[in-house]
Amino acid sequence: MQSHERMLGILDLFDSDENYVALTFDEIHARVGYTRSTLYRYLKALTDAGLLSSLPGLGYVLGSRIIELDYKIRSGDPLIRAARPVMEEIASQFSGIALLCRKYREHVLCIHQERGTETLQSNYDRGRVRPLLLGAASVAILAYIPAYQLSRLYNRIPEEFDAAGFGKSLAEVKANLKVHRQQGWVVTTGEVTPGVAGIAAPVFDGEHDVLGSLSLTVRESQMTPDKVQRIAEQVVLCARIISNAVAQN
């Protein structure tokens, strides 16, 4: 691993699902194992760049530059700009929460959310990372990743594919994902947030490679087969609009 990769890898130490805390120099040192002089140099470079901040008595936290970059992403990302209008419309139409997600390494990252109701809660907020095997927004992406990526992922965590109901072999997994591709959309219930259903469709880039997904979160109790179908048709249409807009940029 090159020095810049080792330095940037320090930022991964701040991954935390629920309880974000500062990390002291000694805590970081114990986790990365670099020499103290090397770690001091890396932390100074990250702090000077604004990617980390040092708080006396507490340690290091993610820096203000990340907040600034987040604003620029929200205002300038072509994917978010293309998706925002249709997300607002579909969330309002069905009183749900529209989520735009992007494939991120071997996970799925929520990058934008539009609410059509204040009475519904979702555990999948902007900036939250989820497994590729969990929830409609993730499976809508998983079904379209290249075969070599799917094989590599399966060979690493076959038991998780089995636990998620995709099958006990790679052949079964491929067969189940093919069903989702043929349908063009995915529906799951209660996998991310109890009591809600998610309906999702893939979003593609200009090369027709899967880029992410558009999903709508709605109350499970309000779902009927007819309503699921109506929502799915609109989600697929909106995902296609987003894909076309991204391809034209």
79-91 pLDDT, tens digit per residue, is: 999 999 999 999 9
For residue 152, is pLDDT > 80?
yes
209 with 126, same domain: the answer is yes
98 with 219, same domain: the answer is yes
- Give Cα separations from 76 to 121, 126, 211, 236 (angstroms): 27, 16, 17, 24
More confident residue, 166 or 120: 166
Would you say 229 and 94 are in contact if contact means Cβ atoms under 8 Å apart? no
* pLDDT at residue 157, as a whole number: 95
Which among 94, 110, 131 has a CA at the least distance from the CA of 217? 94
Domain CATH number, residue 192: 3.30.450.40
- Tell me the pLDDT of the chain averaged across its residues: 91
Range of the domain at 18: 3-68
Cα separation of 133 and 233, whole Å?
23
Q: What is the mean pLDDT of residues 13-31?
A: 80
Domain CATH number, residue 61: 1.10.10.10
For residue 18, is pLDDT > 60?
no
235 with 112, same domain: the answer is yes
125 with 211, same domain: the answer is yes
Domain boundary among 68, 94, 116: 68
* pLDDT at residue 17, as a whole number: 52
pLDDT band at 151 (very low <50, low <70, confident <90, very high): very high
53 with 140, same domain: the answer is no
pLDDT band at 173 (very low <50, low <70, confident <90, very high): very high
140 with 239, same domain: the answer is yes
For residue 124, is pLDDT > 60?
yes
Domain boundary among 45, 68, 91: 68
Domain boundary among 68, 100, 121: 68
Q: What is the mean pLDDT of residues 16-26?
A: 73
46 with 150, same domain: the answer is no
Domain count, the chain: 2
For residue 19, is pLDDT > 60?
no
